[in-house]
Structure 1
Amino acid sequence: MQKTVIIIAGPTASGKTALSVQLAQLFHTAVISADSRQCYREISIGTAKPSPEELAAVPHYFIDSHSIQEEVNAGVYEKLALGYTADIFKNNDIAVMCGGTGLYIRAFADGIDDMPAIAPGIRTHLNEQFALHGLPWLQQQLQERDPGFYATAETQNPQRLIRALEVLDATGQSITTFRSATRSQRDFNIIKIGITPPKEILHQRIHQRVDHMVHAGLVEEVRSVIRYREHNALRTVGYQEIFSFLDGYISLDQAIDDIKTHTRQYAKRQLTWFRKDPAFQWFDPRDDEEIISYVQQQLL
């Protein structure tokens, strides 16, 4: 059998973790996380890490592997994930990858271009401007300074906009200049599985997950990392809203409602990203037997 990585992707709260553990148990292998925040030891509740039972069921890579003080990006992830894969392949023909960070999955499957180094002051300045003026300021800056990239950018994703502006400030060139669009060839097979339940069920799961996070101590977790609030991993849904609550700008109820709204919006962006890749075969996560049958057919 050719060495194979089964990638399980989809929107947040779609059931990726449970399915990945099920597949890993079936094939007696390990799971590589493809989530840009679950690698950080200091944040667990707001990142919806696998439960202790799921972590005990099969080996996991890229969970609690880094400190929030470390910088992890798609380029770092590509190298790490290829190393994890090689480690799994020493004893198994199959590895499972699971996550919703589309850029990380693309970096692993296709490779990613080396980006220029960014002076810390540039990022700090842009983050300060974002905090002052919000998303519209980022959008206006990028639309005026790099309209070509802006036309195809994820304009609702502040991290992507800040990244593009960083490159502009550091080099005077568009981020597209550093993208060769040359795919790296991998010496293993990749099976891409996308899962999402019907929208109303996904939204219900999102709302239940947010309520569970709050009951599990999300506010206390966010308070414990407030000194790292400028870190990209904390400029995300679930943390920014609680920061606003802790700063006294909104009530806790409003923060919870905002997390639910922003998570639904994020899930929609995830689906848009993954559906652009025709290699993904899509399933309802409740049809686990159909998914397993499909995977087994691909492995023949």
Structure 2
Amino acid sequence: MGPTASGKTALAIELCQHLPCDIISVDSALIYKGMDIGSAKPDAEELARAPHRLLDLLDPCESYSAAQFREDALREMAEITARGRIPLLVGGTMLYFKALLEGLSPLPSSVPEIREQIEKEAAELGWEKMHQLLAKVDPESAARIHPNDPQRLSRALEVYRISGSSMTELTQVKGEPLPYKVFQFAIAPEERSELHQLIAKRFQLMLEAGFEQEVRALYQRGDLHVDLPSIRCVGYRQMWDYLAGKLSYDEMIERGIIATRQLAKRQITWLRGWQDVFWLRSGDLTNIEQICSVVGEK
């Protein structure tokens, strides 16, 4: 686990050369086809060295939930362990890790009629007003969900209207825990300034690799829009706004880097509250040795 640009993929691929591991991606952007450069998806050479599972599952017009991830990950883990190998889960989508480790809360399934009613109200009142309505019934979720995040905002309101309980109340009820012995490692630079440099460098490398052309191909399809989870991914949203004429090229770069920093900050905040994590430092040549030592001891 770790913040974006901290070196998770490179470390995982190297670890596969020392332990009989198969990698399972834990990343909400890597599941989308055609979103390779901006998501830092492993390239052909990296995949040849260490194949990754749960990549390229969906078209960008589709959505994917933590529940779907848990189901897919458990299936892959069972297959890997049946062959006598070790599932190595790698990524930065902390909600997916949480769903996998703790199980899922008993949230109600979506009801199309209620979802449509919420969308109709939002069209009339605006999402800012819908956010205020959520704050009255579920202040904790409202504090966590941005007013410009219609998918999560709609879901939180829907859960309350279906069940009569807030999402906050329901998520405190845990599901089935993970039936595996787990070793948890987090990697990050020692200084935040170093992480910021890595983020800026990687964003520039993405641009040089053709990130604009990648997003332009998605933009020109005509069936994708900024409210989809895929297009809201960090970097993609900012490039989309540039292609739509809402940002200059330099503004797109600046906002893309800022949004990536904010994502990394949220990831680190999650991890600081995580239990039983062994911390590694980005770029430390002894990381593999440390991991093998911890796993070997237990």
TM-score normalised over the length of structure 1: 0.85
Instruction: Name 1:228's counterpart in structure 2.
Output: 224
Aligned pair partner of 2:278 in 278, 281, 289: 281
Q: How does 1:178-217 map to 2 (within 5 A)?
A: 178-197=170-189, 198-217=191-210
Shift in CA distance, 160/100, structure 1 to aligned 2, threshold 3 Å = farther
Q: In 2, Cα distance between the equivalents of 1:243 and 1:123?
A: 26
**What is the aligned-residue identity percentage?**
34
- How far does residue 56 in structure 1 lie from its aligned partner after superposition? 0.8
Post-superposition shift, 1:25?
2.0
Matched with 1:46 is 38
Verify the 8 A CA contact 2:196 2:261 in the aligned structure 1.
yes
**Separation in 1, partners of 2:162, 2:30:** 29
For residues 111-122 of structure 1, the aligned pairs below 5 Å read 111-119=103-111, 122=115
The answer as to whether partners of 2:21 and 2:87 remain within 8 angstroms in 1 is yes
Rounded Cα–Cα distance in structure 2 between residues aligned with 1:107 and 1:206? 27
Partner of 2:87: 95
1:242 alignment counterpart = 239
* Alpha-carbon spacing, 1:285–1:154, altered in 2? closer, same or farther (3 Å): farther
Report the CA distance between 1:51 and its aligned residue: 1.9
Identify the residue that residue 106 of structure 1 maps to in structure 2.
98
1:54/1:137 CA distance change after superposition, 3 Å: farther
Partner AA of 2:65 in structure 1: N
Whichever residue aligns with residue 213 of structure 1, its letter is: M
Corresponding position of 1:268? 265
Give the Cα–Cα distance (whole angstroms) in 1 for the partners of residues 76 and 250 of structure 2. 41
The answer (yes or no) to whether the contact 2:138–2:168 under 8 Å persists in 1 is: no
- Structure 1 vs Structure 2 CA RMSD: 2.8
SS in 2 for 1:282: strand
Match of residue 251 from structure 1: 248
How many pairs align? 289
Scaled by the length of structure 2, the TM-score of the pair is: 0.85
Q: Distance in 1 between matches of 2:130 and 2:207?
A: 30
Using the alignment, how far apart are the partners of 1:71 and 1:284 within structure 2? 33
Tell whether the 8 Å contact from 1:19 to 1:288 is kept in structure 2 after alignment: no
Alignment CA distance shift 1:141-1:216 (3 Å): farther
Counterparts of 1:124 and 1:96, CA distance in 2: 42
Partner amino acid, structure 1, of 2:224: Y
How far apart are residue 47 of structure 1 and its match? 1.0
For the residues of structure 1 that align with 2:213 and 2:287, how far apart are their CA atoms?
A: 41
Report the equivalent of 1:56: 48
Paired with 1:241 and 1:117, the residues of 2 have a C-alpha distance of 32
More deviation, 115-124/266-275: 115-124
Query: Are 1:75 and 1:114, in contact at CA under 8 Å, matched by a contact in 2?
Result: no
Q: Using the TM superposition, give the Cα deviation of residue 19 of structure 1 relative to its aligned residue in structure 2, in angstroms.
A: 0.6
Structure 1, unmatched stretches of 5+, are: 1-8
The answer to whether residue 22 in structure 2 is matched with residue 30 in structure 1 is yes
**Counterpart in 1 of 2:7?**
15
Instruction: Classify 1:88/1:102 alpha carbon distance in 2 versus 1 (closer, same or farther; 3 Å).
Output: same
Corresponding residue for 1:142?
134
Residue identity opposite 2:241 in structure 1: S
Q: Aligned letter for 2:196? A: H
In the TM superposition, what is the alpha-carbon distance from 1:211 to its structure 2 partner? Answer: 1.1
